[in-house]
Amino acid sequence: MRKILATTAIAAVALMALSGCSTRTESGGGDGAAAGFAKDSVIGVALPSKTSENWVLAGGLFEDGLEAAGYKGDVQYAGASTTVKDQQDQISAMVTNGAKVIIIGAADGGQLATQVQSARDAGAIVIAYDRLILNTEAVDYYVAYDNFNVGELQGQALLDGLASRGEAPYNIELFSGSSDDANSAVFFGGAMSVLQPKIDDGTLVVASGQTDIKQTATAGWKAENAQSRMDALLTSTYSDIPLHGVLSPNDTLARAIITSVKAAGKDIPIVTGQDSEVESVKSIMAGEQYSTINKDTRVLVDKAIEMVDVLQKGDTPEVNDEESYDNGKIVVPAYLLPPVIVTKENAAEAYANDPNLAPLTE
């Protein structure tokens, strides 16, 4: 069921037929992967625009980590206004500059097939970082947190938070991420695998009726888009009934939703999140946002660089999931890290080893 839901979710975003897909039988980008490469080679890192704290942190960690490991790191961010075109051009430049590995946090995973194929043709190895690259065979590995499980944890946190507030039924609203990010549908699919049975039995009521991912999407993961939609929902649906909970896919949107509710003079509902952003951890400790997800960017970047080290030696990186991440052309070998749900009750424990967040939970 998990694999079916994840694949269906990815297909819903990419709008592509999944017939005829096959699993990669060989890892790596051709001869370059088999032979390894020089320790001081160029390693490209293409990240989307700086829309959240975790992308900003990731860029700095990649710069420092690749330099410390002896590589020539080429870390690039796509611009905010022409994000996809910028990233396409940046990846092409990395290929031209002889990058041996290109790590890509996709701005739009459905629009990079030409660029990653060029990378493959040049002998480079492509690692999809955090977001799956869709509809191409030229992706060698995927490294991420288990994003379907992120959604499951968010859905369960919403149920747990609601149960702490009183008896069912509960009025809720659903938000999902940007439709150009393949992860959005995976998060939403995981959450709905938990929430849909409770919607079906009447425990949860989506009072607006907006349950389809196209209705719940938040373009560009932008806070102002989430806040605008929440404003509209409060006006159209919640003028005379309470809003008990909101499924939010990340912290930036969660805070925007809470801002909207506060401005309307209503009680703050149970609101989920993701990414352990500083302001959201503060909000959780203040009793406003209910939960977030801890996906330690330091650990994820370290894992990606570890993969580079293995490839540099001509060896095959470790993967732990060779079944779930069908991108429309192949099943991409993946290494998935476990996410952790964080509420006020377990925040101190969850962030005990994080020097930036631990002080916020004291």
| Cβ pair 309, 3 in contact under 8 A | no
Q: Examine the domain organization and report whether 278 and 187 are in the same domain.
A: yes
Looking at the structure, do residues 33 and 115 belong to the same domain, yes or no?
yes
Query: Of 125, 190, 135, whose CA–CA distance to 15 is shortest?
Result: 135
Same structural domain for residues 277 and 303? no
pLDDT tens sequence across 263-302:
999 999 999 999 999 999 999 999 999 999 999 999 999 9
Q: What angle do CA 115, 46, 25 make, to 5 degrees?
A: 55
Band of the pLDDT at 51, cuts 50, 70, 90? confident
Q: Give the domain extent around 317.
A: 2-145+296-337
* 270-271/245-247 β-pairing: parallel
**212 and 131 in a common domain:** no
Tell me: do 220 and 280 sit in the same domain: yes
Q: Are residues 63 and 170 in the same domain?
A: no
Burial of 89: CB neighbours in 10 Å, binned 0-12, 13-18, 19+: middle
**CATH code, domain carrying 309:** 3.40.50.2300
Same domain, 171 and 287: yes
pLDDT of residue 24: 39
Q: Same domain for 180 and 41?
A: no
Q: Which is higher by pLDDT, 27 or 60? A: 60
Q: Are residues 177 and 130 in the same domain?
A: no
Closest CA to 98 of 165, 158, 151, 38: 38
Note if the bond before 333 is cis, omega within 30 degrees: no
Number of domains in the chain: 2
What is the tens place of the pLDDT at every residue in 133-186? 999 999 999 999 999 999 999 999 999 999 999 999 999 999 999 998 889 999
User: pLDDT (tens digit, 9 = 90+) per residue, 92-112?
Assistant: 999 999 999 999 999 999 999
Average pLDDT over residues 352-359: 92
Supply the pLDDT for residue 17: 35
Closest by Cα among 355, 246, 260, 277 to 285: 277
347 and 330 in a single domain? The answer is no
If asked whether residues 92 and 54 sit together in one domain, one would say: yes
pLDDT in tens, 194-203: 999 999 999 9
Residues 102 and 194 in one domain: no
**Average pLDDT of 322-337?**
96
